[in-house]
Structure 1
Amino acid sequence: MQIDGHTRLAAVVARPIKHSISPFIHNAAFDLLGINGVYVAWDIPEEDLEETVKNVRRYDMWGINISMPYKQAVIPHMDELTDSAQLIGAVNTVINRDGKLIGHNTDGIGFFRSLKTFENFDVKDKVMTILGGGGAATALIAQAALNGAKKINIFNQTVFLETTKAKAKELSDRTGVPIAVYPVEDLSIIQDKVMESQLFVNATSVGMDGQSMIISPAMSFPEGLQVADVIYQPFETPFLKLVRSKGLPAINGLGMLLFQAAEAFEVWTGKPMPTEKIWTELVKKYDVKE
């Protein structure tokens, strides 16, 4: 696409951000659809965040994506928040609607869209057990509640348990979905709760080293359990390798990465992202056999 006087801008804002794959995804989508847009990465200090957000209006941008450490800090600069952003308490997408800035969160939407696309799995009326209580986990928990999950079991480190319980109570009170919190160090409780679940998710960074996992290799799983990991580097974590060896369906976090971007792209442009073509390129990039 030739850049000209009509080219419209979008960006991802974080620190650091130069490693981001988001420019590849969005620029590929602009190119494939013939949309006159460009997506760039802005590595900014926190004191520039407010002015950066003002630039979305000033330059009539499509919007911006927000990554760490600014997902909470950007909220006071929004005119409005979507239901998902309110529940999660974090914004990863800013939508420019004729100068009104709407804070949105596409992380959970992207995760469940990935599950639907690749495994035809819907969390509605199902029990989810999730490892982790940080930002990624909270996005998934909130979206599962919004999507009508039957019950959610959260396992987090004991040191964070009271904070996790407070957030779980808030989410449960606002959605009506029962949410229970347990210490992740207790493998016997994890075993019990997984046996009553239809979805089991690792939303921690454990496994990024290609060696570690939270659960025991001797753990049992119910038949037909759907498993997911938010990690995509490595492409197959020890957690995924274990559950796949039991014949269970399992996906990594690459689909979440793609579909959270697709949701942002679509609310900005009104056009569906050509995810199948972009997915092929992402798999080539990340499915590297050592």
Structure 2
Amino acid sequence: MTQPRYLTGLIGRDIQASLSPMLHESEGDAQGLRLIYRLFDLAADGMGVEDLPRLLDALQLAGFAGVNVTHPYKQAITAHLDELSPQAQQIGSVNTVVFSAGRRIGYNTDIYGFAQNLRAGLSPDARFGRVVQMGAGGAGAATAHALMELGVGELTLFDPAQQRAQELAAALNAVHGAGRAIVGDDLPASVAAADGIVNATPIGMKGYPGSAIPQPLLRPALWVTDIVYFPLETQLLRDAREAGCATLDGSGMTVYQAVRAFEHFTGRAADPQRMSRNFRAALKP
């Protein structure tokens, strides 16, 4: 019997350290699938956002089942797809593209991944009255919608691109209820009133050193989570732990979003516990 074969990959920039190939290929091996997962690092290949249509054409022609998309192309990729899932259309951000019957269909599995990570990783009595989120880009759109669905009362967005934050706040309020999302202008005051903090920026990632939140603003009553997983302990999480905060790293979001992406690529359910064990093992020095 011929072993099922799937060509998949990841489009992004500066992604050589990504563990996505290991995550998907090891799950494929465990299920008896021949799954190949390639990195398409546009920085390493001397390419840019203008090359996305050509790259998608090539992947589709080569018979790829689909690709994941990461920073900084989650929003730009949407213009080159034939169809978006309702969630992807809602937030204008795609992290998974499936090639099917000559069409390119965009999904967003980050919403599910982030929400599942919070459900599994935070205390059941964690408060979600007020949350501060740093970042309003493609990943930030996903985490913000997930926070709304988890019942956050007021989400305060901060982003260097003020207009981007305003557009995301307007989109969130249109879908989830007026006034629930606002754009912040006073970070110390917002953090002082918050129950939790989300870093949805690349700050803290290898190549983007530092922390999105100044350490003096942190206090024990906060929970703090970061979408970055490389390194697993970012400067923000280190500062938060030292301040006595409950902390949650980005590994769970990465695993859970990959679980959903694997299902889109192969049509088979993935095992989140197995994928998490493999991920954690790969992160050990």
TM-score range, shorter-chain basis? Answer: 0.7 to 0.9
Q: How many residues align?
A: 277
When normalised by structure 2's length, the TM-score is 0.81
Q: Deviations over 1:63-114 (max 9, x none)?
A: 1112234323322221211233223322111123433321112223211122
Does residue 204 of the first structure (1) align with residue 201 of the second (2)? yes
Helix, strand or coil at the partner of 2:269: coil
Match in the other structure for 2:40: 42
State how far apart, in whole Å, the 1-side matches of 2:53 and 2:124 are: 39
SS in structure 2 of the partner of residue 231 of structure 1: coil
Alignment partner, residue 91 of structure 1: 94
CA contact (8 A) 1:85 1:103 kept: yes
Structure 1 window deviating more from structure 2 (248-257 vs 49-58): it is 49-58
Q: Go from structure 1 to structure 2 and tell me whether the alpha carbon gap of 1:170 and 1:98 turns closer, same or farther (over 3 Å shift).
A: same
Q: Secondary structure of the residue that 2:52 maps to in structure 1?
A: helix
What does 1:1-290 correspond to in 2, within 5 Å? 7-44=5-42, 45-46=47-48, 47-119=50-122, 126-157=129-160, 160-176=161-177, 178-183=180-185, 186-192=187-193, 194=194, 197=195, 199-208=196-205, 212=211, 214-217=213-216, 219-222=218-221, 225-245=222-242, 247-288=244-285
Change (3 A) 1:116 1:130: same
**In structure 1, distance between residues paired with 2:84 and 2:127:** 24
- Does the residue aligned with 1:90 lie in a helix, a strand or coil? coil
Q: What letter matches 2:191 in structure 1?
A: I
Residues 92 and 107 in structure 1, CA contact (< 8 A), matched pair in contact too: yes
Contact 1:94 1:104 in 2 (8 A): yes
Query: Which digits, 9 at most, give the CA deviation of each residue in 1:178-199, with x for residues without a partner?
Result: 1011126x3133212x1xx3x3
Select between 235-244 and 34-43 the one with higher mean Cα deviation: 235-244
- Give the % identical residues: 30
SS of 1:214's partner is coil
Inter-partner Cα distance in structure 1 for 2:254 and 2:14: 17
Are the structure 2 counterparts of residues 108 and 163 from structure 1 closer, same or farther at C-alpha, using a change threshold of 3 Å?
same
Distance (whole Å) between structure 2 residues aligned to residue 74 and residue 115 of structure 1: 27
Check conservation: 2:23, 2:258, Cα contact below 8 A: yes
Contact 1:266 1:273 (C-alpha < 8 Å) held by counterparts: yes
Structure 1 moving runs of 4+ over 6 Å: 122-125
Please, what is the CA RMSD of the aligned residues?
A: 3.1
Give yes or no for contact 1:95–1:103 (8 Å, CA) kept in 2: yes
TM-aligned CA deviation for residue 34 of structure 1: 0.9
**Aligned equivalents of 1:20 and 1:167: distance in 2?**
27
Q: Is the 8 A contact 1:124 1:148 kept in 2?
A: no
SS in 2 for 1:244: helix
**Judging changes above 3 Å, is the alpha-carbon distance between structure 1 residues 42 and 162 closer, same or farther for their aligned structure 2 residues?**
closer
